[in-house]
């Protein structure tokens, strides 16, 4: 199964250099936030309103070697959380998403 993580070019470039992906939320909250494909539009709207471009990493759940838990968020939906760094080999593919002229997110 694929789960999705939204990140920046800068964080992904760093991961490519060292072979492992991390996110600041791992230090501040103890895990890396992920979403299902269906949850992506709402996650982008809620947490990335100030951004104009993001990378969306498609992560193969079974490749994640650290603890991965599905936990309820404030909206009571279950979201996947990765409790550790992950090898870049966990990422099956990535897409660039941009905001269009109407302020809606679109995959490039």
pLDDT for 74? 83
Report d(CA 76, CA 65) in Å as an integer: 26
- The pLDDT value given to residue 105: 94
Domain-wise residue ranges, the chain? 2-107
- Percentage, residues of the chain above pLDDT 90: 94
Count of helices and strands (H, E) across the chain: 3, 9
Please, which pLDDT band fits residue 52 given cuts at 50, 70 and 90?
A: very high
Mean predicted confidence (pLDDT) in 9-26: 96
Residue 58 has pLDDT above 90, yes or no: yes
State yes or no: pLDDT of 87 exceeds 90.
yes
Q: What's the topology of domain 2-107?
A: ADP-ribosylation fold (3.20.170)
């Amino acid at each position: 199964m694929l789960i999705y993580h939204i990140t920046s070019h800068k964080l992904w470039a760093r991961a490519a250099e060292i072979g492992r992906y991390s996110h600041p939320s791992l230090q501040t909250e103890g895990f890396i936030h992920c979403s299902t494909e269906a949850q992506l539009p709402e996650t982008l709207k809620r947490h990335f309103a100030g951004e104009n471009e993001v990378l969306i990493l498609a992560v193969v759940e079974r490749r994640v070697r650290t603890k991965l838990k599905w936990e309820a968020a404030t909206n009571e939906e279950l979201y996947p959380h990765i409790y550790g760094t992950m090898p870049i080999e966990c990422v099956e593919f990535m897409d660039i998403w941009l905001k269009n002229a109407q302020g809606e997110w679109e995959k490039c």
